[in-house]
Amino acid sequence: MTSNLKLSELKLSKLKLSERLALEKAAKPQTVISVKPRNPNFIQDKYKKDANENTQSKSSSNSNSSWARSDKQLSKQDDSKKDAPKSNLAKRSDPYSRNYAKSNAVNAANVGKSKSPFKSQTQFEKYAHQPRFIAAEILDAIEHGRSLSECFEPLSAKLNDADKRFTQFLLYGALREYEALNDRLNQMMHKPIKASESIVLATLILAIFEATSMRTQDHACVNLWVETIKQRQKTWAIGLCNGILRNILRDGLPSVNTHLGRVNLPNWLWAKFSQDFPKHAQQMSVYYQTHPVMSLRVNLSQTTREAYLQILKEHNIDAYPHQFVKSAIVLKEPMGVNSLPFFKTGMISVQDASAQFATLLLNPCDNENILDACAAPGGKTGHILEIAKPRKMIALDVSAKRLTQVQDNLNRIFGLDGNNDKNNDNNNHTDDFISNEINKNLNIKLVSEDILNYAPKNDLFDAILLDAPCSGTGILHRHPDIKRLRQAADIVPLVQLQARILRHCWNLLKPGGRLLYATCSSLKAENEAQMQDFFADVTDAQEIPIKTDFGIAQLHGLQILPIAIDEPSADYLNYPQKMDGFYYCLILKSLD
C-alpha cells in the first residue's frame, strides 16, 4: 500500500456483529493455560517509565510504518500457531497486577494522580477535552487495574455530554470485542509494542473498533486517530497507526485466528464457563458481546404493572412485561431515566429482572427485622421497602460514599409528597433533615461498616439479603472491563471471603429466619460449590427449594445464565427475555 493512496479510494469494511461471530460455531475449546498469581504487594503506576521513552523512535505520518505487515506477510502466517493466545505487549514480569487489598474508594482517589507521561500536567490538560484521547487514557487505566466506573468520571470531566456518550460507546464496544480486536491487530504487526508503551496499544484497539464498527467517515477516522497519537507525543507510532487504519479501510479486517478472539473472553474464563456449563458456554460468550437490555421495576405500592405499561404506551415508549418477574418491565430500547414518566416520584426504578427476583425470593414481610448486608447502590433496599413495612431494617455497606446512593434512592422513591426534583440533582443530596424523616418513617438505618465487623446490639434478624461480593462474571455485557480486570488467581480468595461473610451473616439470623445468598456470578465455585461447603459445615441450615419456570436448578440453589435461547431444554427452561447472570440460594435456620 502506497502512502499517497487517496482515502476516497478506501472502502470501510462494516462487519455486523453476527458476521463477526459466525466463525464461533465451528470453534473448539482451548486447553487451559495457567495464570501466574498476582503479586499482592504490587503498587500500580501506569506511567512507570522514563520520560525519554516518549521520543525514542521517529516515523513519518505520511508513510506506512515498518511495524504494519504487508498482505504477503499476512498470508504466510503459521497456521499451527493460530489458536495460541498472543499479546501485542512485550513480556513483563508481572503484567497489569492489581492490589485487590485496596478498596475501590482508594483506587478512585488515586485516579489521575499517577506520574504523567508529559512534561507537565498542563500539557496533559491541553487535550483533556478530546474524546479519543480520553478514551485511550481510560482503556489504558483499565489495563493497569482500575475499573471503568472508577476512572471514567474523573478522566472525562472536561468532555461535554455528547463527547462523554461517544467515549462511553467507544470504550464499551472495544472492551466487549477486545480479544478479537487484539487478535486482528496482532496479525497486522511485525513485533509487539513495548510494555511501557501500553497507551499506544490502547489507542490502536480503539481506533480499529471505530474504523470497523462506527459510522465515522473514513478520512476523519484515520486523521483523528493519527492526531491522537501525535497528541501523545508518540512520533514513532504515527506511521504505525496510519498504516494499520489505511490497510483496514482498503482491505477490511483479517479473520480472527484464535478461539479466544472468537469468543471474546480471556482464556481462564472461557475454560471456567466450558467446565461449569459446557452446553451453554458458547451462548454465554455471544450474549456477553451484546448490549444489555434496560429493565424497570414497578413500585407496586404506587401502581400496577399494567397501569404503568399503559402510561408508557401513551408516551410512545415501547415496552413489554417480563414473563416471569411480576414487577419487571423490559424496554425495547434503552433511554435516559429522566425521560421515563414518574421516575422522579419513585413509581419505577431501573433494575434488571434478575436483581428484582432476589427480593421477591426473600419475600420480606411487615414487622420483620431485615438486614440488607451489602446494600449499595440500594436497588434491593428500595425494593424491600416497596413490598413491606419492617419493624427495623439495616442497610449496610462498607463504603460510606456508596451509601449516599442508597439514601438518594430512598429519597427519590419515598420522598415527601413525591416532590423529589431536588433529589434527582446529581450535584446535590437531600438535606439531612428530609433524609432522616424518610428513614424514620421507613424504620431503616444506613450503616457504613464492614459486614464482618458488624454485630447488632439488640435482637437478631428475621430475614437477611446477602448479595455477596463476587467476580461479576454474570454481568460482563454490562461491565466488560471485568474481563480485563479479573484473573484466575482472584477467584479462590474471593470464594474464601464469601464463605466468611455468609457464615457471619448466618450468626446474625434468628432461629426460624431465612437468608438469601445471591451473586451476579456465573461461576460454580462462587455459587453451587459455595453452598455445598456451607451445608456440609452448618448443621442448622435447611434449603428452601426455589420453584420457577426458568433457569438451571443446581444441587443447591438456582442459576440464571446470561443467555437467551429459543427452545427449552432438559436442563434449561425457555425464557424469551434476556436477564443478567445471577445465582440464588434460599436458606432457613432451624428452630432447634
This prediction has a pTM of 0.78
Q: What is the average pLDDT across 406-413?
A: 96
Q: What is the average pLDDT across 558-573?
A: 66
Bond into 117 cis (ω within 30): no
Tell me which residue of 117, 110, 119, 183 sits closest to 147, measured CA to CA.
Answer: 110
The confidence score (pLDDT) of residue 457 equals 80
The confidence score (pLDDT) of residue 564 equals 62
> In this structure, what C-alpha cell is assigned to residue 222?
484515520
Q: What is the average pLDDT across 256-264?
A: 92
- Strand 558-560 relative to strand 582-589: parallel, antiparallel, unpaired? antiparallel
Any idea which residue has 505487515 for its cell?
69
Measure the CA–CA gap between 570 and 433, rounded to whole angstroms. Answer: 55
Q: Could you tell me the pLDDT band of residue 435, with boundaries at 50, 70 and 90?
A: confident
Lowest mean pLDDT among 108-112, 367-371, 452-456: 108-112
The confidence score (pLDDT) of residue 206 equals 98
The confidence score (pLDDT) of residue 497 equals 98
Res. 576: pLDDT tops 50: no
In sequence order, what E strands does 269-421 have? 294-298, 319-321, 328-331, 348-350, 369-372, 392-397
Any idea which residue has 472468537 for its cell?
262
Contacting residues for 497 by C-beta, under 8 A, at least 6 apart: 469
Q: What is the average pLDDT across 411-428?
A: 58
Measure the CA–CA gap between 373 and 517, rounded to whole angstroms. Answer: 10
The confidence score (pLDDT) of residue 310 equals 98
The confidence score (pLDDT) of residue 224 equals 96
Q: What is the average pLDDT across 321-348?
A: 95
> In this structure, what C-alpha cell is assigned to residue 109?
482517589
Res. 108: pLDDT tops 60: no
Q: What is the average pLDDT across 540-546?
A: 97
Q: What is the average pLDDT across 186-204?
A: 93
Percent with pLDDT over 90 in the chain: 67
Res. 378: pLDDT tops 70: yes
CA 364 to chain centre: 29
Phi-psi group of 133: left, alpha or beta (phi > 0 → left; psi -120 to 50 → alpha; rest → beta): alpha
Res. 538: pLDDT tops 60: yes
The confidence score (pLDDT) of residue 592 equals 72
For residue 120, the surrounding DSSP H or E stretch is: none
Q: Could you tell me the pLDDT band of residue 565, with boundaries at 50, 70 and 90?
A: low
The confidence score (pLDDT) of residue 436 equals 86
Residue scoring higher pLDDT (66 or 212)? 212
Measure the CA–CA gap between 171 and 203, rounded to whole angstroms. Answer: 11
Helices 178-187 and 198-213, axial angle in degrees (round to 10): 100
> In this structure, what C-alpha cell is assigned to residue 430?
437531600
Measure the CA–CA gap between 48 and 380, rounded to whole angstroms. Answer: 41
Contacting residues for 578 by C-beta, under 8 A, at least 6 apart: 287, 290, 292, 293, 562, 563, 564
Lowest mean pLDDT among 16-20, 41-45, 104-108, 328-332: 41-45
pLDDT tens digits, one per residue of 214-235:
989 999 999 999 999 999 999 9
Measure the CA–CA gap between 535 and 542, rounded to whole angstroms. Answer: 8
Res. 207: pLDDT tops 70: yes
**What mean pLDDT, rounded, does the chain reach?**
81
pLDDT tens digits, one per residue of 47-70:
233 333 333 333 333 333 334 443
Q: Which of helix, strand or coil describes residue 256?
A: coil
Active site residue 520: yes
Residue scoring higher pLDDT (549 or 140)? 140
What string of DSSP letters covers 261-276? HHHTS-HHHHHHHHHH
Q: Could you tell me the pLDDT band of residue 416, with boundaries at 50, 70 and 90?
A: low
The confidence score (pLDDT) of residue 307 equals 98
Measure the CA–CA gap between 252 and 82, rounded to whole angstroms. Answer: 19
Residue scoring higher pLDDT (2 or 405)? 405
Q: What is the average pLDDT across 460-485?
A: 97
Measure the CA–CA gap between 413 and 409, rounded to whole angstroms. Answer: 6
Q: Could you say which of 221, 374, 520, 585 is catalytic?
A: 520
- What are the Cα distances from residue 584, in Å, to 359, 388, 581? 10, 21, 11
Q: Identify the structural domains of the chain with CATH numbers, from first to last.
A: 114-258 (1.10.940.10), 362-589 (3.40.50.150)
> In this structure, what C-alpha cell is assigned to residue 562?
446470561
The confidence score (pLDDT) of residue 161 equals 95
Q: Could you tell me the pLDDT band of residue 536, with boundaries at 50, 70 and 90?
A: very high
The confidence score (pLDDT) of residue 19 equals 40
Measure the CA–CA gap between 206 and 143, rounded to whole angstroms. Answer: 13
For residue 167, the surrounding DSSP H or E stretch is: helix 161-176
Lowest mean pLDDT among 43-47, 184-188, 515-519: 43-47
Q: What is the average pLDDT across 533-552?
A: 95
Q: What is the average pLDDT across 143-149?
A: 95
Res. 97: pLDDT tops 50: no
The confidence score (pLDDT) of residue 136 equals 96
Tell me which residue of 349, 346, 313 sits closest to 332, measured CA to CA.
Answer: 313
Specify burial of residue 52 (Cβ count, 10 A radius: 0-12, 13-18, 19+): exposed
Any idea which residue has 461449569 for its cell?
276
The confidence score (pLDDT) of residue 16 equals 39
47-56, 435-444, 452-461, 534-543: which has the highest mean pLDDT?
534-543
Q: Could you tell me the pLDDT band of residue 122, with boundaries at 50, 70 and 90?
A: low
The confidence score (pLDDT) of residue 23 equals 37
The confidence score (pLDDT) of residue 459 equals 85
The confidence score (pLDDT) of residue 190 equals 87
Q: What is the average pLDDT across 7-13?
A: 34
Residue scoring higher pLDDT (60 or 118)? 118
The confidence score (pLDDT) of residue 87 equals 54
Res. 31: pLDDT tops 80: no
pLDDT tens digits, one per residue of 350-362:
999 999 999 999 9
The confidence score (pLDDT) of residue 125 equals 84
For residue 212, the surrounding DSSP H or E stretch is: helix 198-213
Percent with pLDDT over 70 in the chain: 74
Res. 406: pLDDT tops 90: yes
Residue scoring higher pLDDT (5 or 504)? 504
DSSP letter for 591, please. -
Q: Could you tell me the pLDDT band of residue 121, with boundaries at 50, 70 and 90?
A: low
Q: Do 131 and 203 contact (CB within 8 A), yes or no? A: no
Res. 452: pLDDT tops 80: yes
